[in-house]
């Protein structure tokens, strides 16, 4: 005989039946639906205050390095870069970029500029950004084939090519305006602009800086995986000394008063094959010459600049792996020769850096470099540094 449950007066039995019905209903839900809901977290959204979109990116680089210089500790660790980048599209052709960099002692603004795209061919930029000079300086720090652009052996003050160009403010960031023109198909690009010429600092003399660059892609690039071959040239001119500061220069035994800025110029020719994170070879070569404001001579009662010469080459051969945590391995090499004054004897140096890059997807990278600095002067001993750096971009 079937058992009949009486609802009236049987509240506890009623609740028990409801629980059993709900449990059976949950068990009958297809597993794929439950898992799909669990594996699909809410899509993160950032709503810009104005405009159409905004992108936020973080970059963290942690570095450990040694030095053979006796006056400094043998090993040191540092947070090489901690950056937050904001890129926004405000619509109507306007966009902008802001980079803040932080370390244990200070915070500073690196990039801060506004772009305006007038047409598919013309664009304009104003603010603080990199001059279009020095191919390796223009490469983002997160995409470098070697850890450092120049000589960074602790305790060794001698400059390699990129160090000098940055110190003389022929390259690097400064405050100004720039126009860019691209031909149809983007194979030919022209860039030109004017800057205060004082780098990321406030203006320190009355001299101003002009720079221009031309780039040409030898191959058409129908796909992103196509390896480009780029060639080009650039020029930069900057005013040094002069009012309101640094008006008295000591050259040899003479003290010369400089009331107006003295202008120097630097020239670059470069070629680059391949692109970052594309399997196979990626190599670049850049040659530089121009006026060195730190190598002063005299011409009567006036000063004249010495002539510097620099050449830098860097390369990587990337071997990619599919469906692995380690997505790629890239042996790398950098060679740099810098002569600060071609009229002086035995003052050149060579920086040689073999290394290897380990890629973990598109966000993480481990680099190992061995920097060796040798001098043209045989009386100066070579110095070296072992360098390891981890990078995460998120």
Handedness of CA 17, 22, 27, 28 (dihedral sign): positive
For the chain, domain boundaries: 11-393
**pLDDT per residue as tens digits for the range 233-249:** 999 999 888 666 656 56
In 3-state terms, what secondary structure has residue 249?
Answer: strand
Question: Going along 300-348, which residue ranges are E strands?
Answer: 302-320, 328-339
Which tokens in the block code for residue 41? 């977290």
DSSP tag of 41: P
Query: Token match 């039995």: residue?
Result: 13
The span from the first CA to the last CA of the chain, in angstroms, equals: 68
pLDDT at 200: 81
Q: Sorting pLDDT into bands at 50, 70 and 90, what band is 206?
A: low
Nearest to 150, CA basis, from 269, 315, 312, 286: 312
Q: How far apart are alpha carbons 171 and 236 in whole angstroms? A: 8
Q: For residues 239 and 261, is the Cβ–Cβ distance under 8 A?
A: yes
DSSP tag of 268: E
**pLDDT per residue as tens digits for the range 145-171:** 999 999 999 999 899 999 999 999 999
Which range in 69-83, 100-114, 294-308 is most confidently predicted, on average pLDDT? 69-83
**pLDDT per residue as tens digits for the range 4-47:** 333 344 444 445 544 544 443 444 333 433 333 344 555 555 66
**pLDDT per residue as tens digits for the range 57-72:** 999 999 999 999 999 9
Considering the chain, what percentage of its residues have pLDDT values greater than 70? Answer: 80
> At the topology level of CATH, where does 11-393 sit?
Porin (2.40.160)
Q: Sorting pLDDT into bands at 50, 70 and 90, what band is 50?
A: low
Burial class of residue 126 (count of CB atoms within 10 Å of its CB; 0-12, 13-18, 19+): middle
* Count of C-beta atoms within a 10 Å radius of residue 39: 7
Q: Does 137 have pLDDT greater than 90?
A: yes
DSSP tag of 154: T
Average pLDDT (69-81) is 94
Nearest to 340, CA basis, from 307, 368, 304: 307
Helix H or strand E encompassing 97: strand 94-102
């Amino acid at each position: 005989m079937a058992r009949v449950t009486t609802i009236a007066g049987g509240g506890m039995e009623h609740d028990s039946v409801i629980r059993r019905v709900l449990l059976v209903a949950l068990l009958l839900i297809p597993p794929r639906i439950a898992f799909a809901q669990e594996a699909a977290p809410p899509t993160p959204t950032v709503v810009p205050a104005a405009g159409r979109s905004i992108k936020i990116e973080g970059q963290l680089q942690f570095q450990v390095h040694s030095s053979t210089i006796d006056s400094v500790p043998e090993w040191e660790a540092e947070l090489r870069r901690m950056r937050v980048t904001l890129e926004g599209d405000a619509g109507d052709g306007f966009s902008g970029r802001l980079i803040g960099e932080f370390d244990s002692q200070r915070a500073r603004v690196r990039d801060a500029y506004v772009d305006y795209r007038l047409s598919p061919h013309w664009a304009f930029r104003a603010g603080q950004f990199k001059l279009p000079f020095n191919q390796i300086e223009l490469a983002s720090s997160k995409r470098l084939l070697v850890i450092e652009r120049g000589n960074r052996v602790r305790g060794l003050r001698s400059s390699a090519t990129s160090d000098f160009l940055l110190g003389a403010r022929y390259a690097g960031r400064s405050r100004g305006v720039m126009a860019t023109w691209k031909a149809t198909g983007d194979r030919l690009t022209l860039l030109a602009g004017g800057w205060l010429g004082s780098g990321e600092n406030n203006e320190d003399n009355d001299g101003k800086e002009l720079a221009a660059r031309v780039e040409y892609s030898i191959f058409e690039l129908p796909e992103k995986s196509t390896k480009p071959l780029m060639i080009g040239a650039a020029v930069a001119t900057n005013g040094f000394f002069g009012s309101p500061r640094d008006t008295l220069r000591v050259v040899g035994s003479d003290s010369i008063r400089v009331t107006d800025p003295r202008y120097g110029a630097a020239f670059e020719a470069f070629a680059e094959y391949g692109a970052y994170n594309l399997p196979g070879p990626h190599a670049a070569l850049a040659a530089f010459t121009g006026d060195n404001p730190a190598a002063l001579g005299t011409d009567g009662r006036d000063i004249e600049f010495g002539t510097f010469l620099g050449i830098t080459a860097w390369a990587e051969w990337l071997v990619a792996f599919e469906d692995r945590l380690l997505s790629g391995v890239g042996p790398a090499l950098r060679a740099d020769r810098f002569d600060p004054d071609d009229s002086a004897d035995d003052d050149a140096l060579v920086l040689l850096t073999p290394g290897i890059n380990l890629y973990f997807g598109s966000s993480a990278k481990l680099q190992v470099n061995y920097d060796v600095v040798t001098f043209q002067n045989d009386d100066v001993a070579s110095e070296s540094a072992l360098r390891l750096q981890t990078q995460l971009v998120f």
